[in-house]
Chains A and B, each alone.
Chain A
Amino acid sequence: MTSLPEPSAIKLGLVIDLDICVGCQACVVNCKEWNTSGYGAPLSDENAYGANPNGAWLNRVHAFEAGNAEEAKTVHFPKSCLHCEDAPCVTACPTGASFKRAEDGIVLVNEDWCIGCGLCAWSCPYGAREMDPAEGVMKKCTLCVDRIYNDNLKEEDRVPACVRTCPTGARHFGDLGDPESEVSLLVAARSGYDLLPEQNTKPVNKYLPPRPRRKAEDAPMSLVAMAEASTPKGFWKWMDSTLEKLG
């Protein structure tokens, strides 16, 4: 059924901290590693060792530059499915393969029903869906639905692979439907925001903005300035004045 369910109370999603991400691509690789042997068909690659490799990936890290000259910031920008509340990819699907779970809001593809028409990818403004080149079905982030509820894994591993592997702690996973959850508090404290809000997709995933750059006058003093500003004491004071007298 590709009509959207009533908005769920639980809205599982990611919070991505753009202030922290260093663009190491570990989340991209671990996502591929987990999902190639997890939910659905393997994530295939074509010509993987050739000049123009091509493959299905569920998470990609862009790099953007914002602002000019001294004020310019380099921002590493991970992007995967945002599990939108008004997901246009779900309603566009002609077969019912694309669906949003009523219980936790995760958007998934039933690969046995997918006809590979690609219309869901066309209707997604974020580029979160990629056709599998070998299988001919649509691939997307599952929020690691096969990890987060998996009792066979240790508790600390029951988070999406990208979150588990991030060495800098730039990715957070939780229930954004609960205003008291850690992720919701983080979003409130850091003014987390939606991507492309004008597309009215109501994404669940939020992004935390880079913190503003510190101004030059607020920076710590240079070592030379510190040395010049300080007055020596004891032995150093005696030596300083003695050497001074020598001219």
Chain B
Amino acid sequence: MHPAWSIIFFTSASGLGLGLAAWIVLGLIDLSQFWHLIFVAGFTFGLIGAGLLSSTLHLGHPERAWRALSQWRSSWLSREGVLAVLVLAALGGWFLYTYMRGAPPQWVGFALVILITATVYATSMIYASLKTVTCWYHPLTPTCYLMFAASGGLLANLWLVVIAGQSVTAIIQSLAAVLIVLAWLVKFAWWWMLDHKVMESTLETATGLGSFGKVRSLMPPHTSENYLQKEMGFVIARRHALKLRIISVLLGGLIPLVLIIFASSSPLLLGLALLCHLTGVFVERWLFFAEAKHVVSLYYGDQH
């Protein structure tokens, strides 16, 4: 699948922002000081908002984007839109309440975490519901999205706590490290699945000509690349997949892990850990699209 920058940025930035929001509403950072509240709210809304904006501007007709809120009964993209709007509103309310009256009751935080989890899940289901992309059509896909949002979010929370001059408890520090390890373990499982899952469809079932023997594409229907090939026939990544996987694990997993364990009191080094994590997830997300193969590529002779 074509790895569009707008969508990669959307899923990684919004995912991180939503994960961060979940830890904030669970009370993992003290927001009693006004400037802390403003900075944390700005940072969280910035991440979620920039991601959503990027995905909206990617549309052929961004001015009609509001229509996407209507088909939540059948469409995961629509559900994601509705949930994102709800989360932004609820989160705004949460920050406002915190500013005016101090931390809201715990159950509000738990309710928001459920809403946030549903939003990240809906984002992942846009892809995981596509039967046409065999490797996406698997429960491990939403698991990956949720784990990266949770682990990246906690890392971001840790960084905010440290720059606000608050103390980090050993439990939270360990949890951040454990979540990063777990997230990458899930991703390794996903990659194993990608490398071993066999596409049920073949050019024989696509053409119905299997009874005559092996089917090969003899001539494409046009002389230059069309929309389908540009959008769904992306093959460049597969050549460098292994190198890119290693880069993403180093940046998104190993470096943040080491920095969380050994430098959890340094705002600068934790900031670096967060930046590395975001870049690593960015590469991971790029591969998520670039390595995915669509059924329609069979018609264009891609048998690999």
The digit string for A56-69, where 1 denotes a CB below 8 A from any CB of B, is 11001111111110
* Contact A197–B71 (Cβ < 8 Å): no
* Contact B224–A52 (Cβ < 8 Å): yes
| With A117-B68, A198-B205 as contacts: A130 and B75 at CB distance below 8 Å | no
B295 to chain A minimum Cβ distance, whole angstroms, is 4
* Contact A65–B215 (Cβ < 8 Å): yes
Out of A91, A94, A131, A194, name the residue touching B81 (CB < 8 Å): A94
Residues facing B in A117-131 (CB within 8 A) are 117-119, 121-127, 130-131
Q: How far is the CA of A136 from the CA of B57 in the complex (A)?
A: 12
Residues from chain B with a CB closer than 8 A to the CB of A193 are 208
- Interface class of chain A by DSSP: loop
B54 to chain A minimum Cβ distance, whole angstroms, is 13
Residues from chain B with a CB closer than 8 A to the CB of A121 are 227-228, 231-232
Out of A95, A126, A131, name the residue touching B70 (CB < 8 Å): A95
> Is B133 positioned at the interface, with any CB of A under 8 Å from its CB?
yes
> Is B192 positioned at the interface, with any CB of A under 8 Å from its CB?
no
Residues from chain A with a CB closer than 8 A to the CB of B224 are 51-54
> Is A71 positioned at the interface, with any CB of B under 8 Å from its CB?
yes
Residues facing A in B205-245 (CB within 8 A) are 205-228, 231-232
Out of B126, B216, B227, B295, name the residue touching A65 (CB < 8 Å): B216
B208 to chain A minimum Cβ distance, whole angstroms, is 5
B55 to chain A minimum Cβ distance, whole angstroms, is 9
Residues from chain B with a CB closer than 8 A to the CB of A56 are 227
Residues from chain A with a CB closer than 8 A to the CB of B169 are none
* Contact A94–B68 (Cβ < 8 Å): yes
Residues from chain B with a CB closer than 8 A to the CB of A210 are 209, 212
Residues from chain B with a CB closer than 8 A to the CB of A118 are 60, 231
Q: Nearest B residue to A1 by beta-carbon distance? A: B71
Residues from chain A with a CB closer than 8 A to the CB of B77 are 92, 94, 117, 119
> Is B144 positioned at the interface, with any CB of A under 8 Å from its CB?
no
Q: How far is the CA of A54 from the CA of B230 in the complex (A)?
A: 11
Q: How far is the CA of A137 from the CA of B201 in the complex (A)?
A: 29
Residues from chain A with a CB closer than 8 A to the CB of B220 are 62
Q: How far is the CA of A130 from the CA of B200 in the complex (A)?
A: 24
* Contact A197–B132 (Cβ < 8 Å): no
> Is B304 positioned at the interface, with any CB of A under 8 Å from its CB?
no
> Is B64 positioned at the interface, with any CB of A under 8 Å from its CB?
yes
A21 to chain B minimum Cβ distance, whole angstroms, is 12
* Contact B214–A62 (Cβ < 8 Å): no
Known: A66-B212, A131-B231, A136-B60. 9 other contacts (CB 8 A): A62-B220, A65-B215, A65-B217, A67-B212, A94-B68, A116-B61, A122-B1, A122-B231, A209-B209
What are 19 contact pairs spanning A and B, CB under 8 A?
A2-B73, A51-B224, A53-B223, A62-B217, A62-B221, A64-B209, A68-B214, A91-B74, A92-B130, A94-B67, A94-B75, A97-B67, A115-B64, A121-B232, A123-B132, A136-B60, A194-B208, A197-B205, A198-B200
